[in-house]
Amino acid sequence: DAGITQSPRHKVTETGTPVTLRCHQTENHRYMYWYRQDPGHGLRLIHYSYGVKDTDKGEVSDGYSVSRSKTEDFLLTLESATSSQTSVYFCAISESEGKGDTEAFFGQGTRLTVV
């Protein structure tokens, strides 16, 4: 398995509280992604990063922010959690296209419940 660690693995939080999920990689991959997985929707991209301090929005970015201050860490923050953000969150990494064709590798996921 690729060296990707997500923390925490499970979290229950109250509506309106801030939450930060962490993704840590040991592969030195350039690209990092945050997805959420919901039944019937597959995985939907929240935000992604193509380098330190370089991030962009995905298709479901409202209510989320990200930061990448180091190559190995990509943080996802829910500024004020809502029940609609109850989901399983996956981090993924991949190398840049310039270094050949590669697939994305996924972390173990974080199950977040907002009550």
Partner 1 sequence: AQSVSQHNHHVILSEAASLELGCNYSYGGTVNLFWYVQYPGQHLQLLLKYFSGDPLVKGIKGFEAEFIKSKFSFNLRKPSVQWSDTAEYFCAVRGNAGNMLTFGGGTRLMVKP
For partner 1, the binding residues (CB under 8 A) are 31, 33, 35, 40-45, 48, 50, 56, 58, 90, 92, 94, 96-97, 101, 103-109
In the complex, the smallest distance separating the C-beta of residue 78 from partner 1, rounded to whole angstroms, is: 21
Comparison of 40 and 83: residue with beta carbon closer to partner 1: 40
In the complex, the smallest distance separating the C-beta of residue 93 from partner 1, rounded to whole angstroms, is: 11
Q: What is the 3-state secondary structure (H, E, C) of the chain?
A: CCCEEEECCEEEECCCCCEEEEEEECCCCCEEEEEEEECCCEEEEEEEEEECCEEEECCCCCCEEEEEEECCEEEEEECCCCHHHCEEEEEEEECCHHHCCCCCEECCCEEEEEC
In the complex, the smallest distance separating the C-beta of residue 15 from partner 1, rounded to whole angstroms, is: 27
Comparison of 49 and 85: residue with beta carbon closer to partner 1: 49
In the complex, the smallest distance separating the C-beta of residue 40 from partner 1, rounded to whole angstroms, is: 6
